Amino acid sequence: MSAATGAHASATTVAGVTTLRPFVPSDLPGLYNICLRTGDSGADASALYHDPFLLGHVYAGPYPLADAGLTFVLVGADGLLGYIVATADTLRFEEWLERSWWPTLREQLAGHPGTDPGDGSQDWERVQHIASTRPHDDELFRRFPAHLHIDLLPQAQGGGNGRRLMDVLLHALRERGVPGVHLGVGAGNPRARAFYLALGFTEERVHDWGSTMVRDLTTGA
């Protein structure tokens, strides 16, 4: 991370109580916790997982390791309240996952059933993803190579906290010369879709699960 990016993040505060700052390694358990507690289209997914770490293994944990300097956290008096994680280059990130992240997890989860047990739990979906996902190129990555995930606990939602996290990340991506960013938003989370539209994202692709949204970083603020 450049000194400019660090200063930009460290100076961002909310009412003098909540601080937005770059990730440090001791934040990792907090990332996993927030990922689980917001993992059901923004609602608490704790009841959906027997293994509370599975969601974080996919959507939070690898990012600060694979692409240092693009994870930022929102911190209050009682600890982490939210985060944003990203990679500047999705294809390189997927290659890093295949080389350095998935092998250990695949070994650990080898005996875990990757089929629906019919009890309403969703562990099997994450296990299936970890076992089967492979690096893939996509035309989208050339125009919008970065991607991100952002999560806020309910008490931190509203009040501009999401926008602050997005602003500091987009600033960091522009400093690296990244031309664009994409993300996925589930069909069951219309509030998130409205948030991204308000931030200048547009809907690039529609899927049965939701949509892929994009933002050009070469123009505008």
| Arithmetic mean of pLDDT, 113-125 | 94
Residue 158's pLDDT band, with cuts at 50, 70 and 90, is confident
Question: Is the pLDDT score of 185 beyond 60?
Answer: yes
User: Which range, of 7-16, 86-95, 175-184, averages the lowest pLDDT?
Assistant: 7-16
Domain map (residue ranges) of the chain: 3-216
Question: Is the pLDDT score of 62 beyond 60?
Answer: yes
Residue 220's pLDDT band, with cuts at 50, 70 and 90, is low
Q: Please tell me the predicted confidence (pLDDT) of residue 11.
A: 37
Q: Please tell me the predicted confidence (pLDDT) of residue 15.
A: 45
- Mean pLDDT, all residues of the chain: 91
Q: What's the Cα-to-Cα distance from 87 to each of 41, 117, 211, rounded to whole Å?
A: 21, 33, 19
Q: Could you read off the pLDDT of 123-154 as tens digits, one per residue?
A: 999 999 999 999 999 999 999 999 999 999 99
3-216 folds as: Aminopeptidase (3.40.630)
Question: Is the pLDDT score of 2 beyond 60?
Answer: no
- The token duo for 101 is 């992240």
Q: Please tell me the predicted confidence (pLDDT) of residue 174.
A: 97
Cα torsion angle, 75, 77, 80, 82, sign = negative
- The token duo for 146 is 């970065």
| Arithmetic mean of pLDDT, 51-57 | 97
CB 5 within 8 A of CB 169: no
| Arithmetic mean of pLDDT, 48-64 | 98
Spatial neighbors of 52 by CB under 8 A, at least 6 apart, are: 32, 36, 46
Kind plus residue range of the DSSP H or E element containing 147: strand 146-152
Question: Is the pLDDT score of 4 beyond 80?
Answer: no
Q: How far is CA 63 from the centre of its chain?
A: 8
Q: What is the DSSP string of 110-138?
A: TTS--S--SSS--HHHHHHHHHH------
Q: Please tell me the predicted confidence (pLDDT) of residue 78.
A: 86
Q: Where does residue 28 fall: left (phi above 0), alpha (psi -120 to 50 degrees), or beta otherwise?
A: alpha
User: Which range, of 16-20, 29-33, 170-174, averages the lowest pLDDT?
Assistant: 16-20
Q: Please tell me the predicted confidence (pLDDT) of residue 200.
A: 96
Q: Please tell me the predicted confidence (pLDDT) of residue 173.
A: 98
For residues 118 and 221, the model is more confident at 118
